[in-house]
Structure 1
Amino acid sequence: MKQFLPLALLFLLLITGCSEDPPAAATPDEAVGAEFAELLENYQEARLQLNPLEATYLGDDRYNDRMPNLLSQDYKAESRGFYQDFLRRLGGINRRALDPTDQVSYDVLEWELNMALQGADFATELLPLDQFSGIHLAFGQLASGEGAQPFRTVEDYDNWLARVDDFATMMDTARVNLERGAAKGYVLPRALALKLLPQLESLAAEPLEDHLFYSPATMIPDTFPTEERERLQGAFRGMVGQRIIPLFTNLTQYVRDEYLPQTRESSGIAEIPRGKAYYDYLIKLYTTTDMSAEEIHELGLSEVARLRSEMEKVKQEVGFEGDLQAFFDYVRTKPELMPFDSPDEVIANFNDIYDRMKPQLEKLFNKVPKTEFEVRRTEAFREASASAEYNPGSQDGSRPGIFYVPIPKVEEYNTFSDEDLFLHEAIPGHHYQISLTQENEALPDFRRNLWYSAYGEGWALYCESLGKELGLYEDPYQYFGMLSAEMHRAIRLVVDTGIHSKGWSREQAIQYSLENEAESEASIIAEIERYMAIPGQALSYKVGQLKILELRARAEAELGNDFDIRAFHDLVLEGGCLPLNVLERKVDEWIEAA
């Protein structure tokens, strides 16, 4: 998965859908186009000021010294006013006078603003922390000195110290909001609070010099003047020892002693006030469709049945004589699939996969990102609850895209789905899609960094099906890994809707997963708890993948020998993230023109 999700939930910037196109003017009006271009430029600039952490992730360093209190009522009111103002200004633009590309941008901006306003109606600030998407995790990555926050100059270090002051204020508000939420029935499931607790404890731990937030002080460049190095080291000792450790010590004590006894035994978001309406909103947000929870649940059951049939064929190919459930256990525990003794070997294996597939990439893609790419191990402080994920590079390409791999117990690390995982998280999945969009100067700036989960995760899941075309999946266990990963996403349709709309328990969802996929029990538990923490996001993968597969099949059938897979991939990727109905319209117009 792309790693912007925690921030997207806090900023309410993800969007859905697209309005139907009214008839366009025969000749676009240049003056209206210029007015619209100015509006988009103003919107992007104002949005980055409202969300300075997003600017940092894009490589824009202008706001690296600040962090608004995302959990405060003042920020919520300011955000609402921002969206309302730009929606009003957008309404003053004559859409019909724009060219086709600008009309798409108009629709995207309109729905971004509308969905953000709808999202602002829910009291999400009363559930400010969880084990998967809490702001403490995003800041922990930045605090490590190896994330998006730069630490190259004295100013960089001072910027971070100022930003940490704002972060500490926000964490104080998180404590207040937890209390307010508990009084109103907005509380985490007990299982999630239990996973949050060790994260908070790790940020309260001493000695100071080993603390995550002290890490940049150990990397101060030797080129800094001596007095500056000493000043910064003293400032970091004060920041960690006098603010961060006491803050997380108090927060840990509150969560353990007061909050945990008030948590709920239920698993689904429907159990909080207005929970059903919130889940309906999240379905639309993440799938960019009007599908209901029931429709998605039934689609998931159908896909699980289809994939079980395909898995049976692999089981027969390798000569396993037990049933499919026994084969899952066999794959989970097969010693030959757990060959590594050190995390470095895991990273090296992914780099080897990349080397093997490189020669085939040009057969499927005309365009290759300029942004560099790396594989890294997930940081220790969040590794136990993390999934593999992709962290985008900066827009200017100066910071690479990073594929993070959690390796909590290397001796138990199973390789059977590594080829598939690389295709999804790295190349040509998230790295190609996100980097090519960021590098596309033909798009307005705000569209170069949008994220529609159905498109982005749908594309990444679609890329998993390209393995044989890229020279992979020659080992039947790796092909089974691809089927297992697709099964994993099909199961998500069942369990996410089961948990959040049908009253399923955490244990019921875990059992259903164990019965239908070969993931380890520990991995499945982490995944189910992820769905509990970010309802609806897990639905986007399969919904998006099935739409892209449908569009490719349609193009192949209509164009026959004239179908060019590279041109199709260019078409899908060129417009950046789009709602699925907009993507479908683009492909249909391309087919008709061809």
Structure 2
Amino acid sequence: MLQKNRLLTVLGAVTLWSVPPVLAQTLDSFFTKEWAYQLAQDPVEASTLGERRYNDRWQDLSLKAVQNRHAHDRAVLKELQGFNRAELPIADQLNYDLFEREYQLKVAEFAYGGYRIPLNQRGGIQTAHELADLLQFNTVKDYEDWLNRLRRFPVYMDQTLGLMQEGVRTRTLLPSVVMARVPAQVDQQLVPTPEASPFYKPFRSFPKDIPPPEQARLQQAAKTAIQTRILPSYRKLKTFLVQKYLPASFASVGVWQIPNGDKFYTLLARKYTTTAMTPAQIHELGLAEVKRIRGEMDTVIQKVGFKGTFAEFLTFLRTDQRFYYQTPEELLTSYRAMSRRIDPGLVTLFKTLPRMPYAIEPIPAAAAPDTTTAYYQQPAAGGSRAGIYYVNLYKPESRPKYEMMALSLHEAVPGHHLQIALAQELGEIPNFRRYGGYTAFIEGWGLYAESLGEDLGLYIDPYDKFGQLTYEMWRAVRLVVDTGLHHYRWDRQKAIDYFLANAAKQKLDVINEIDRYLVMPGQALAYKIGERKIQELRTRARSRLGDKFDIREFHGVVLGSGAVPLDILERNVDNWLAAR
């Protein structure tokens, strides 16, 4: 999600070119070669980034290809060690370190076999059609490329099923409670006619310069491919899920159930937080944060004059119709109005704003019931597609108004869109940094951005402020329930009950959240850990600089290197403070 370009200066005004630039160029060539390899190996990701060379194929998911990629990663690490790090410019020493860290984690993670779980209720081959929404269809070749993907789909499906069979064999599986959602998603693909297939969507309209006979030819080819390739593939998936996979899936929840699952979770905690914190330490931090935020919530409850217990206040928020829209159209209109309130104030907090715009769009209806409140899709490389803030319009009566401001600050600006678009617009950093990144930074920034509603004067209504605290509580609760589920072996209901007792989230959202943590162990830990580090550094900078503290300069330093591990972020800020 981040762009990475060589830094021409470091935050501390250190000169970088202390050695002949040929060394850095050699390292650049190494990074360029590896980036090209990764794009070729993952055509879907390449297409998502706007690289069109591989638009006619899917990723090779055969077990042999998966093992070959792992062997390649190990070889690349050894090749990297052939560079003398000490002789590189400072900026390229950082590139070296980040690349090494990323690949060491990839290699370590492979041993636990997560590749044997190629899909879950949040996405996978059952939602492969959604890729078309991120592609351009301007020429006959664009349509032919999509047709080739349709024709190659049975191989892609068989390879996916092969990995899932390996998962059954090795007991590398997900809980049945979440996988039970997937057959209904597959049913969305089992349409009565090819024209009703979501894979047919690109062929419903054409640019005017494609002649009608050519349009008819492409449409007929699409119908044939869907009838003979897509539909049989999904029937095969449905049968396998119902007859083989679901009966084998875990009755209990938690990654501890897979082979060496406890060790895997410790690795994932380190990966997603970019710290050495143990699951037990993270759990205790979560409990402390829940207690602190609860105190701030009680202050707001007193301010609005509510007479009753905390639990009764949460019930009030969940049931009073003043806090909800009744139609998807009203909800979407309100989300879009949020941006018009947020955008004008950004210049008071940032010296540099991204050139790339963003759009606000509904989450596809087929996926909406099983996914969370919102998410963000980064812009395509090269600017062919803007960033997209996707919002969930399913059951609008369950989506509180008081959450919408904090959510928009997180997903759009000054959160994900601002941070990721700025990263993509950085200078000369390698692509693995420009379009990659670290969850603790990315999601930590998103959560931190929610707090900037105070600086922007957007939390005038105390209920909006309670919504912001609800979202902060949500991320603190994540520290408790994610470690509870995967480290302390909580059952699913205990996690749901803890969430409902501490945050004013609707039960539908809470259940989808808990089920998300079940299939993405450790990822939920990143948000609060990253946000706390950014807040800590802001407090440090304000304390050190006093009246000279400029929030716009601080944000420039935080965002100026793209998404980096938290220890690198801290070093960047300390270098800046030392220079000041």
Task: Establish whether TM, by shorter chain, passes 0.5.
Answer: yes
Match status 1:583 vs 2:574: no
Structure 1: gaps spanning 5 or more residues = 5-22
1:500 aligned onto 2:500: no
Q: Aligned pair in 2 of structure 1 residues 568, 225: CA closer, same or farther (>3 Å)?
A: same
* 1:476-487 equivalence runs, <5 A: 476-487=462-473
Residues 51-450 of structure 1: matches in 2 within 5 Å? 51-70=42-61, 72-137=62-127, 139-143=128-132, 147-341=133-327, 343-387=328-372, 388-450=374-436
Q: Does the residue aligned with 1:59 lie in a helix, a strand or coil?
A: coil
Distance 1:49 1:581 in 2: 32
Farther-moved stretch of structure 1 (505-514 vs 196-205): 196-205
55-64 or 291-300, which deviates more: 55-64
Conserved 8 A contact 1:340-1:413: no
1:521-546 CA-to-partner distances (Å, cap 9, x unmatched) read: 11100000000011110000000000
Encode CA deviations 1:241-277: one digit per residue, 9 max, x unaligned. Answer: 1111121122112212332222221110101112112
Q: 1:249 to 1:395 in 2, by over 3 A?
A: same
Query: By how many angstroms is 1:151 displaced?
Result: 1.4
Partner Cα separation in structure 1 for residue 554 and residue 280 of structure 2? 32
Q: SS in structure 1 opposite 2:527?
A: helix
Q: What amino acid does structure 2 have at the position aligned with 1:141?
A: E
Q: Which amino acid aligns with 1:129?
A: L
The 1:26/1:229 distance shift into structure 2, 3 A limit, reads closer
Q: Displacement, 1:133? A: 4.1
Structure 1 equivalent of residue 509 of structure 2: 523
Q: CA deviation at 1:74?
A: 1.8
Distance 1:363 1:25, change over 3 A: closer
- The answer to whether the 8 A contact 2:362-2:392 is kept is yes
Give the structure 1 partner of residue 8 of structure 2: none
Matches of 2:414 and 2:174 in 1, distance apart? Answer: 36
| Native 8 Å contact 1:33 1:97 kept in 2 | no
Determine the C-alpha separation between the residues in 2 that align with 1:529 and 1:415.
24
Q: What amino acid sits opposite 2:59 in the alignment?
A: P
Q: CA deviation at 1:364?
A: 0.2
**Equivalent AA in structure 1 for residue 68 of structure 2:** E
Amino acid in structure 1 at the alignment position of 2:103 = L
Choose from 514, 531, 535 the match for 1:549.
535
CA 1:62–1:553: 2 relative to 1, 3 Å: same
Partner residue of 1:9? none
Point out the more displaced range, 527-536 or 349-358: 349-358
Find the aligned partners of 1:466 and 1:275 in 2 and give their Cα distance: 38
- Of residues 526-535 and 166-175 in structure 1, the stretch that sits farther from structure 2 once superposed is 166-175
Is 2:25 the partner of 1:34? Answer: yes
Structure 1: which amino acid aligns with 2:89?
D
CA 1:287–1:397 in structure 2 vs 1: closer, same or farther (change >3 Å)? same
Residue in 2 that maps onto 1:47: 38
Deviations 1:143-163 (A, max 9, x none): 4xxx22221111011111222
Quote the Cα distance in structure 2 between the aligned partners of 1:390 and 1:515.
28
Aligned residue for 2:383, secondary structure, equals coil
Deviation at 1:24? Answer: 11
Identity, % of aligned positions: 38
In 1, are the aligned partners of 2:375 and 2:391 still within 8 Å (CA)? Answer: yes
Measure the CA separation in 2 of the matches of 1:559 and 1:305: 31
Kept after mapping to 2: 8 A contact 1:377/1:404: yes
Helix, strand or coil for the counterpart of 2:359? Answer: strand
Deviation at 1:99, TM superposition (A): 1.5
Q: What secondary structure is seen at the aligned counterpart in 2 of 1:466? A: helix
What letter is aligned with 1:327? F
Equivalent residue letter for 2:405: E
For structure 2, the residue ranges without an aligned partner over 5 or more in a row are 3-13
Query: Is the contact made by 1:133 and 1:533 (CA closer than 8 Å) also made in structure 2?
Result: no
Shift of 1:135: 4.0
Secondary structure of 1:451's aligned partner: coil
**Bigger CA drift: 267-276 or 86-95?**
86-95
What CA deviation, in whole Å up to 9, does each residue of 1:163-213 have, x standing for no partner? 234443222222233333223322321111111121111112323222111
Deviation at 1:26, TM superposition (A): 9.3
For 1:385-441, what per-residue CA distance to the aligned partner results, in whole angstroms no more than 9, with x for missing partners? 112100011122221100001111123332111000000000010001110111113
CA distance in 2, matches of 1:65, 1:397: 21
| In structure 1, distance between residues paired with 2:169 and 2:97 | 40
Residue 11 of structure 1 aligns with which residue? none
- Cα distance in 1 for residues equivalent to 2:218 and 2:398: 41
Distance 2:82 2:16 in 1: 16
Q: Secondary structure at the match of 2:292?
A: helix
What's the CA shift for 1:327? Answer: 0.7
SS of 2:501's equivalent in the other structure is helix
Amino acid at match of 1:319: G
* Whole-Å separation in 1 of the counterparts to 2:460 and 2:192: 49
Q: Which moved more, 1:531-540 or 1:171-180?
A: 171-180
Letter in 2 for 1:538: A
Aligned residues: 568
- Distance of aligned partners of 1:160 and 1:489 in 2 relative to their CA distance in 1, 3 Å threshold: same
CA contact (8 A) 1:462 1:548 kept: yes
Q: Is the 8 A contact 1:372 1:399 kept in 2?
A: no
- The match for 1:18 is none
What TM-score, normalized by structure 1, do the two folds share? Answer: 0.92
Verify the 8 A CA contact 2:153 2:233 in the aligned structure 1.
no
Q: Is the 8 A contact 1:496 1:531 kept in 2?
A: yes
Counterpart contact for 1:69–1:166, Cα < 8 Å = no
Partner deviation per Cα, 1:82-121 (whole Å, 9 max, x = no partner): 2123222211111111221111101011111211111222
The structure with higher relative contact order (CA 8 Å, sep 6+) is 2
State the TM-score, normalizing by the size of structure 2. Answer: 0.95
Partners of 1:133 and 1:225 in 2: how far apart?
Answer: 36
- 2:444 alignment counterpart: 458
